[in-house]
Amino acid sequence: MGAVIMVQGTASSVGKSVICAALCRIFLQDGLRVAPFKAQNMSNNSFVTRDGGEIGRAQALQAVAAGVPATTAMNPVLLKPEADHRSQVVLNGRPLGSLPSSEWREKKPEMWKAVTGALDRLRAAYEVVVIEGAGSPAEVNIKSGDIVNMRVAMYADAPVLLVGDIDRGGVFASMLGTLELLEPEERAMVKGLIINRFRGDRSVLEPLPQMIEERTGVPVVGVIPYFTDIAVPEEDAVALESAVPQGDVGEGVLDVAVVKLPRVSNFDDFDPLARTPGVRVRYVTSPDELDGAHLVILPGTKSTIGDLQWMRSRGLDAAVAAAVERGAAIIGVCGGYQMLGESIVDEEGSEASAGSVERGLGLLPVETVFREAKETRQVRFKMNGGGGLLAGAAGVEGEGYEIHMGETRAVEGACPAPAHYLRHADDLVRSGAVSGDGRVMGTYVHGLFDSDEVRRVLLGNVAAMHGLPEPDVSAFSLDAELDRLADGVRAHLDMALIHELIGR
């Protein structure tokens, strides 16, 4: 069986996912066959594997860092929140159902079997498995149902690195408190502490690392800087709560407003836009924030009907219509595409009561009918030419993936120009829609903007609509960014001890 090492945190959003990605790339650079693993993830940011399975987006990124294809074994349990106490449960890549928290907790024995089976398969196939925990292992109120933190560490006999975020303050207290709340046998699994997101001169941190080690008996194995110039995707929408506009500012900059829906999913779709010189990306929640936007994006969502009703309650539906009237371009992705149509029919009660019909924004001549079956597939697409957003787009290709439960089709008598074709295997399927003037477009494709050429065409056309300079779309390499991340983490981590912990 392959070796294992586990990264747990003192809380959510302390940087576990990024450190796991860095370790995956470091081990790959060191010549090891490595794979990521997270037993249970709770996120609406998901990815589709080659066989159509669904896993957390963070594990897909870690697989890229490890240089291996993403598989469902890397994240056997995925919870996709639909409401405060209800989630869609994805088990081994396939939807198990939409369940209240009380019911999916009852299924923990079934989930634990999937967790151990997946981990065993990865360990049999790889030399090292980098395991990520979730939240904190010291949440005593939910610890009895743990299938992702210390229970996994104990099952795999995995040495644990505990990460704390010094940028949010109280890192000494959070590390000490976490260790104090662990059972003795769990605490014995913790072999190193990592202080993450440190700003400034390392010397001013003294004597904190030594104090922590003396008090806990566990060494500080790394003080990782707060990297602000390395472009790797954030895992969860928690990052949007404190999001500030990203990209260039000033006259002549193309302004992109992304509506921050309550159940937003796959918001990392728009990271490539924020990386583009001459483009500014803002996440907005009120009508006045759409003023001045050259491009408005309605992102994916885990609750299309609920988030559309939320938009109406805040007047954002009227604000989007007003943006169209003043000449802004509109792009809807997945759930955002469904919102742009004439209606959303929920025949089977997927999101609302069975047979309900929700009026859409009416900006595209399509309707969506929800089905119980979920569409998950990787795709290649080829764009069609046309006017507006599609000017000069004919033949431009890219790759992405679909995750949705609705079927969107043209309303009777309407002939919307297709935004592009999707190619799955050898089949060409008409998909997406654009308005008659080409200023409003909808698509089911996540990852649309990852292609430099697609981004060049779409942003160039938006810029032309508003008399702006064409943004400088230069090539971006995620591999190069992951190498930079690995180099940065390696330089501040005791890799000799890490290799010793995995028996190397």
Catalytic residues: 334, 446
DSSP symbol at 73: G
Determine how many CB atoms are found less than 10 A away from the CB of residue 303: 24
Distance CA 2, CA 125 (A): 7
Pairing of strands 366-383, 343-346: parallel
Q: Give the contacts of 318 (CB within 8 A, at least 6 positions apart).
A: 287
Phi and psi, residue 141, nearest 5°: -70, -25
Place of tokens 């890799």: 495
Contact 502, 5 (CB under 8 A): yes
Burial level of 399, CB count in 10 A (0-12/13-18/19+)?
middle
The reply to whether omega before 81 is within 30° of 0 (cis) is no
* C-alpha atoms less than 13 angstroms from C-alpha of 185 in its C-beta half-sphere: 6
Distance CA 321, CA 298 (A): 12
> Which two three-digit tokens encode residue 89?
């449960």
> How far apart, in Å, are the Cα atoms of 11 and each of 5, 480, 484?
19, 29, 26
Contact 449, 275 (CB under 8 A): no
Greatest Cα-to-Cα distance within the chain, rounded to the nearest angstrom: 75
